[in-house]
Chains A and B, each alone.
Chain A
Amino acid sequence: QSVLTQPPSASGTPGQRVTISCSGSSSNIGSNTVNWYQQLPGTAPKLLIYSNNQRPSGVPDRFSGSKSGTSASLAISGLQSEDEADYYCAAWDDSLNGRWVFGGGTKLTVL
């Protein structure tokens, strides 16, 4: 059971805008920044968004992040077939002397 809660699946058609939510608590999202990762089949997670809404160099601006209170969201606009992947949120959790916690992942299907 993951500490951060994500919907197990999401879907959209090419060109559409989809959002993926991530819910946490005061000890993680509520007090620390949120990161998002994209994991294509058989590959390692790739950093997509850090510090709630910052994109690393090379990540298209179709990807955006936001945070409010103890929840965060990842938005993907202009959906493309290559966006089909698993998406994970992550945050540092201040409980138990501190640890990284992750969401259970959301499988995005491009219809």
Chain B
Amino acid sequence: QVQLQESGPGLVKPSQTLSLTCTVSGGSISSGGYYWSWIRQHPGKGLEWIGYIYYSGSTYYNPSLKSRVTISVDTSKNQFSLKLSSVTAADTAVYYCARGISSSWYKVLDYWGQGTLVTVSS
């Protein structure tokens, strides 16, 4: 069974860059048919999709965050990463990584990491 695990600093200063890594186990990030996403959840709020990456390196970002987001992949480590620049308190959230499937019939984010809380504060 595929498992995903987020890691990275839990506290980031305003104006700095938030950096998180998602380690995938139980399956290869290089196997086709899947894309690898980041989603966040503000405290007590709903879910917001940040973006995704294919193992090939192709990326797609939420237009509302596109100017500040970079997602990259390291297939040798079976990891993918998120960088969010110029953070403010509004970026305080639980950040999740997830695996996505996009077929002719359906799209789904099926496996999720446990999430990691990132607080933006000086």
Chain A interface (Cβ < 8 Å from any Cβ of B): 2, 32-33, 35, 43-47, 50-52, 54, 56, 88, 90, 92, 96-105
Q: Which residues of B contact A101 (CB under 8 A)?
A: 49
Known: A44-B96, A44-B113, A44-B115. A99 touches B108 (CB 8 A): no
Q: Which residues of B contact A35 (CB under 8 A)?
A: 108-109
A98 touches B115 (CB 8 A): no
Chain B interface (Cβ < 8 Å from any Cβ of A): 37, 39, 45-49, 60, 62-63, 96, 105-115
Q: Which residues of A contact B37 (CB under 8 A)?
A: 100
Return the contact of A44 from the options B48, B106, B108, B112 (Cβ within 8 A).
Answer: B112
A97 vs B46: C-alpha distance in the bound complex, in angstroms?
22
In the complex, what residue of chain B is closest to A43 when comparing beta carbons? B114
